Amino acid sequence: MPRTVRTFSVENIKDFKQLLLSWSQQFETALWLDSNKYQQHYTSFDSALALEEFTAIKTDYSNAFDKLKEYQSTTKDYIFGYISYDVKNDVEQLSSKNYDGLDFPDLYFFQPQKLIFIRGKNIEFHYLNMVADEIQNDFTDIQAAAIHIDIARATEENIKIKLRIHKAEYYAKVETILEHIKRGDIYEVNFCQEFYAENATINPAAVYQHLNDISEPPFASFLKMEQQYALCASPERYLKKEGSKIISQPIKGTAKRLISTIDDAQIAADLARDEKERAENVMIVDLVRNDLSKTAKKGAVQVEELCKVYSFKQVHQMISTVVSEIDPQLHPIETLRSTFPMGSMTGAPKVSAMKIIEHLEASKRGLYSGAIGYFTPENDFDFNVVIRSILYNEEKKYISYSVGSAITIKSDAAKEYEECLLKAKAMKYVLTNAK
């Protein structure tokens, strides 16, 4: 589908990004991706905003990857959207029967009429030819937009966060997982719990802006899909395709940031040497290597970086980078199909871990621990892992955020619970102003 491209230059990118997000709220469909200038390897752009469906696909998990394959193949254009965790049921003989307060479709992608990239100080408008005559007016309107994203008025005063699994029940479930590990059913499982609020109203763009400001992660995203929203401050990449190269960057291992520079450096160094955290990370690296080998050329899977500690505003994270090379003729959907869902959010062995997750977790994961991203016209793609995220159904007035941790044979239930609270801290703070 032909697009008209025009480039403008802007001096104050930080202000422009706020104006852009504010201006985008008038549209029914919007997806904003932001690297927060976190220039790690394999970054394609600083930010992107996709607006207004020209075409779209919205489906449940049944044959979801085949439907996406057909849609992506026939569109031959940029498409933006998400794959929810429950598309696992398309890949394996699994089901999702737990409670779902959000009702997001299992898979959703759209071909945007209007697409804007930020690279450095350049603002690139990639508009379908049918709306190309709106580029100049839109650029003028964005610059003139009132920044009505008021962080101070992001939420109501009375949002009450509830736990789907209470502390004692969480401890008991961790003990059940440890029994599974001792029996040899699994080595590791990523066990998650939901925090939620009912009959609650928020300003999604303002909550996202606040969450992003205090986190500044490299894979942030804001999704507006009519009355459903994802406010995502993810630090983790799931999978990226650059030509014949595939890149996966799983996270396993978390430590809190400390105010003292010396103490903060020490806790990061301790994380790098922590045997339990390294063991968790290496188990998932092995799983990712196995997943990537299904579509890779023989001997083409490599670990570029193992257990490296990266520091973000809220936490230190241990990240590994695994790459592979695929046959250029292989359809891009096949690499996603053969690796989904990401190992960092399931455990190992993957299918056994997913069965235990379904049995012990109290909520359907939905978009949480799924992936948000895009495809290019050249068949490349890039997807994050939907973690550190607030999901919101405006019509149902239901707010949800989930967190999890990896349970291994060395896990202590109390420490795992504390890790969950650490990961939940930023989401709780922007919703309730309570640390």
- Catalytic entry in 252, 350, 425, 428: 252
> Which listed residue (236, 325, 416, 419) is catalytic?
236
The verdict on whether 252 is a catalytic residue reads: yes
Question: What region does 179 belong to: left with phi over 0, alpha with psi -120 to 50, or beta?
Answer: alpha
**CA neighbours closer than 13 Å in the CB half-sphere of residue 433:** 8
Distance CA 415, CA 340 (A): 28
Active-site positions read: 236, 252
